Amino acid sequence: MRKIIHNDKIFTVFNYILATLFLLIALYPLWYVVICSISGISAIVTGRVWIIPQSITFAGYKKMLEQKEIWTGYKWTILYTLVGTSINLTFTIPAGYALTRKTLPFRRAINMYFMLTMFIGGGLIPTYLWMDRLHLVNTFWILVLMGAVSVWNMIICRTFFENNIPGELIDSAKIDGASEIGIFAKIVLPLSKSILAVMTLFFAVGHWNSYFTALIYLRDRTRQPLQLVLRTLLLTSQLMTEGTNEMLNQNMIDLQNMKYCVVIAASLPVLMLYPFIQKYFVKGVMIGAVKG
Amino acid sequence: MNKKKLSVRLRQHWQLYLMIAPAFLYIAIFHYIPIYGLLGAFENYKPYKGYFGSDWVGLQHFKKFFNTNAFATVVPNTIKLSLYGLIAGFPLPIILAICLNYVPSLRFKKLVQNITYAPHFISLVVLVSILQNFLGANYGLVNNVREAMGMSRELFLSSPKLFPHFYVWSGVWQGVGWGSIIYISALAGVDPSLHESARIDGASILQRIRHIDIPSILPLAVTMLIMNTGHIMSVGFDKVYLMQNSLNLTSSEVISTYVYKQGLGSAQYGYATAVGLFTAIVNLIMLLTVNTISKRLSETSIW
């Protein structure tokens, strides 16, 4: 017995080391970008920036604030996120609820109709050509409508409603003469604040982080979301870094410093909200896993 | 059960149908209608002629794809990247979950959880930027240190040989914490009396992990594996496209980026549709096969 307790103690020590390793590996890359964004490039290039910022400068941030594209990128990203998330919610949540109602005729068939989309689809080119026929390419609407219904999230909602809204509650409301929409708005929704939070965040972070839809469907550079602006910046500096290895001029130096700053600017809203929202996210994953 | 007429029941539920209608219509327009565009895979599709006016070419696009050099690189690249990702990304979330399950301090456990989830929330553009910050030739940390130590700067991100490693391990970095969530909750659901009696019988932690924890999360792990195998032919476009450059193309060109370039870049709509269709079919076959095998072996199935 004593030997086992001894072994368990060794295990616990190693376990702490392992957990700390996981923590540091997750944290360090993020931390590194933060310290680079306020360190002088010459200190970075000579490999002196490791753990704390060196020769502190805010030139990168200053340059970033001067870029018009960043501001318009921010503006459009916020717009796409707000409108897109609202559409996501109105399309996904009522449908998810209605599909939990067992008396609904053709419920199984409608469920199948949604589930099948996870296995079959037209793929990129047919979808693109169809959007083109609908004159949606290069419009505001394509960016907020693409992915408006997430079947996976709909399933999460359905599972939540099934497990958390007692059927008797709905039945008694019906006896009292409430309409279906009334029941949903006045009884179900107030009881479902946590799933509403989860869904809002899933969708909003998705919109905030996406660049694919804009890359494919948006040709107009003046309406680019922030992620696409960042990508353009990434590519230009990639050409420089991978292309020439010659003298660094001041403009390039500022640009490089700015790159760290833009990375932070693009992630900041999500990472700032993160401590408050992460428990909802975890909840969402758990609900999904029940049925998963 | 009262047998009311269907029309009556339909009318009774009109408000519920109204709630489903937006999603239903959206899926019809954005998901099901484009499926008929798969006809284009068998045609010399020209947008101004439409699917019924374009010339029918049968399986010509498929034959062409199988005979191109691209087929010999793009398909193996795709399979290599997704298999590598699958294998590298599979055990670590489980290890993290088990590790956290035996951390006695609740506060430390919460801290590790919160920090390891964070990378999941950054965008792919940011992720690739971070890769550049570490591995770029002129400003990357690794090269900065190499130069400080008297070594030469290397073009890591342009190396076809290194590309799969960067691609896969950056993905593992981003996904490990998030992937551990379901395992953590599965471990929390293990019957405590099992652990209790094992402890009384003198089992060490390691023995309990091996004989209690791992068997109880195995079905979940198998399910996750099946779900992921269904996507073996579809390496996501987003990240590969960001990491591609002209020098690493021999190992970074995958089916999705190839379809994009052929279809939207060179306007070879019919051909690109055919390649996409081929991928989708292989994916579906893979999913069904793996699911059947796992049903036989472990009675775990996704439906």
Nearest residue of chain A to residue B301 (CA atoms): A292
Structurally, at CATH architecture level, domain B62-298 sits in Orthogonal Bundle (1.10)
Is residue B239 within 8 A of residue B167, CB to CB? The reply is yes
CA angle B26, B10, A94 (to 5 degrees): 40
Last residue of a domain, one of A17, A41, A57: A57
Nearest residue of chain A to residue B237 (CA atoms): A212
Instruction: Give the separation between CA A227 and CA A73, rounded to whole angstroms.
Output: 8
CB spacing of A47 vs B123 below 8 angstroms: no
Residues of A in contact with B271 (CB under 8 A): none
* CATH code of the domain in which A94 resides: 1.10.3720.10
CB spacing of A98 vs B20 below 8 angstroms: yes
Query: Smallest CA–CA separation between A287 and chain B, in Å?
Result: 10
Name which of A47, A267, A289 is nearest B148 (Cβ-Cβ): A47
Query: Smallest CA–CA separation between A212 and chain B, in Å?
Result: 6
Same structural domain, A190 and A284 = yes
For testing the chain B interface, which of A22, A80, A87, A125 should be mutated: the one with the most B CBs within 10 Å? A125
Same structural domain, A138 and A19 = no
Same structural domain, A48 and A106 = no
Residue A57 tokens read as 């400068």
DSSP A51: S
Each domain of chain B, given as residue ranges in start order, spans 62-298
Same structural domain, A107 and A249 = yes
Phi, psi dihedral angles at B55 (to 5 degrees): -70, 135
Instruction: Give the separation between CA A241 and CA B4, rounded to whole angstroms.
Output: 73
Same structural domain, A111 and A1 = no
CB spacing of B247 vs A242 below 8 angstroms: yes
Averaged in consecutive runs of 10 residues, what is the pLDDT profile of chain B (303 residues)? 75 92 95 92 88 88 91 91 91 95 91 90 92 87 88 89 95 93 87 89 88 89 77 80 90 92 90 92 84 72 60
Same structural domain, A34 and A62 = no
Residue B174 tokens read as 């981003």
Q: What is the secondary structure of A240-290 as a DSSP string? A: HHHH--SPPPHHHHHHHHHHHHHHHHHHHHHHHHHHHHHHHHHHHHHHHHH
Instruction: Give the separation between CA A250 and CA A246, rounded to whole angstroms.
Output: 13
Residue B3 tokens read as 């047998």
Same structural domain, A14 and A110 = no
Query: Smallest CA–CA separation between B55 and chain A, in Å?
Result: 17
Instruction: Domain count for chain A, please give it.
Output: 2
Same structural domain, A98 and A203 = yes
Residue B61 tokens read as 């696009």
Residue B183 tokens read as 């395992």
Name which of A22, A129, A179 is nearest B96 (Cβ-Cβ): A22
* Helix residue spans in chain A (DSSP H): 2-37, 41-45, 59-66, 68-98, 107-115, 124-133, 140-145, 151-164, 167-175, 180-183, 193-209, 212-217, 226-243, 250-291
Query: What ipTM did this prediction achieve?
Result: 0.88
Contacts of A247 (CB under 8 A, 6+ apart): none
Phi, psi dihedral angles at A109 (to 5 degrees): -65, -40
pLDDT at position A237 is 61
**How is chain B split among helix, strand and coil, in percent rounded to 5?**
75, 0, 25
Is residue B166 within 8 A of residue B123, CB to CB? The reply is no
Residue A196's domain spans which residues? 58-291
Our separate counts of H helices and E strands in chain B read 16, 2
Same structural domain, A69 and A46 = no
Same structural domain, A154 and A28 = no
Residues of B in contact with A94 (CB under 8 A): 19-20, 22
Last residue of a domain, one of A10, A27, A57: A57
Contacts of B45 (CB under 8 A, 6+ apart): A129, B51, B54, B269, B270, B273
Same structural domain, A26 and A91 = no
Query: Smallest CA–CA separation between A14 and chain B, in Å?
Result: 9
- Residue ranges, chain A, pLDDT below 70: 1-2, 237-250, 288-292
Name which of B13, B178, B223 is nearest A104 (Cβ-Cβ): B13
CB spacing of A8 vs B205 below 8 angstroms: yes
